[in-house]
Amino acid sequence: MKQDLIVILDLGSTQNTVLARDIRALGVYSEIHPHDITVEELQALPNVKGIILNGGENRIVDGQAVEVRPEIYELGYPMISVDYPQSGCEVRLEALPEREALEKFLFRDCKAEANWNMKNFIEDQVELIRQQVGDRKVLLALSGGVDSSVVAAMLIRAIGEQLTCVHVNHGLMRKNESESVVKVFRDELHANLIYVDAVERFLGKLAGVADPEQKRKIIGGEFIRVFEEEARKLDGIDFLGQGTIYPDIIESGTKTAKMVKSHHNVGGLPEDLEFELVEPLKQLFKDEVRACGVELGLPHDMVYRQPFPGPGLGVRCLGAITRDRLEAVRESDAILREEFARAGLDKKVWQYFTVVPDFKSVGMKNNARVFEYMVIIRAINTVDAMTASVEKVDWEVLERITNRILAEVETVNRVCYDMSPKPPSTIEFE
């Protein structure tokens, strides 16, 4: 393996991701694992050089303090603890180590090398994928978004024709999205791609469902069922590839942190899943995923494509999904993307989209009273998707977008702009 590894054990800290990124910034690869990792699981990780026990305000779960397994101390790894008493470590810190202390632990105590970079990361993941998969086959959910595209490129490098990509059109895609996916991956990249038209199937399952978590679970569960059906048509599919990244895991809830929202590839997986998962990006943040895509040689437009949630427009058509509101989301989103590109904002703003709530407001059209939906525009900037700030869009641009949406999108009479940062808001509404 190319990279040394520092393991962060989550013992209730709210600063796990900060610590992980601080370590990576010093050139050493780090991963966050649950507090109750077993000796066998720890020893199975490649090139572990040291362990940080990262305690904090969430260390009490269901009335009990979470603890590391005592046998972990007997493995001989250099260890420090942060805000974690009765730890058995020689060094205990009250707060996250500053750069100098962190450097001493990494390079003096752990004797780690500063060999964390995307080239080495990819080489390590390719080797791990080959070890995991062997001569068997992988089925990959290919939405065409950044995460699944990067996973596809990595899997192609690792196992080539053992990969089959499946693109499911669930009726919740952006305008012309499915057509674009087929064109790029089948026609240009010559991937082994299966296209599944499941629009009526998904919309039927979602009819009348208003709860966002239930929608996510239905969409995630139905995705898996579609893949199982496609896998039965193929020989020897034992693995499911997924573009899971670390923010997905955090927001779906950990053993010491409550769920913010489930992601279809984390919280939406059924218990009777027939596949073993292949998730080579699950320890990366969004900016690192993009860097990985660049290193893999993917086109710039694909790597910096607008982020799109797994459940698609299903979580941007707020409440119970109806076809008229779904179409309003799709059309208004297309207008927003066109106008942002025209203004050069597509290269400046990290993510932008529209949502349509499930209530109406009074308006006037053609000198008559109407009762129609509103469109909410959201445009935010972020580095790692853990925090986000609102883009200050020029008033003339917003006015042009508003006028087009009101003129071109049926059943809409009002446009609003979301001014909420993350936190306290999340990037998506549901």
pLDDT tens column, 303-320: 888 878 878 999 999 999
CA atoms of 80 and 103, how far apart (whole Å): 13
Q: What percent of the chain has pLDDT over 70?
A: 94
The whole model's pTM is what?
0.73
Q: Which residues of the chain have pLDDT under 50?
A: 258-268
The pLDDT, as a whole number, for residue 383 is 83
> What is the Cα–Cα distance from 111 to 158, expressed in whole angstroms?
30
Q: How many whole angstroms separate alpha carbon 413 and alpha carbon 411?
A: 7
Residue 85 DSSP code: S
pLDDT in the model for residue 117: 94
- Cα distance between residue 93 and residue 85, in whole Å: 10
Q: Which helix (H) or strand (E) holds 178?
A: helix 177-181
- Residues 47, 52, 57, 63: what is their CA dihedral angle, to the nearest 10 degrees? 70
Question: Residue 418: its pLDDT value, please?
Answer: 98
End-to-end CA distance of the chain: 40
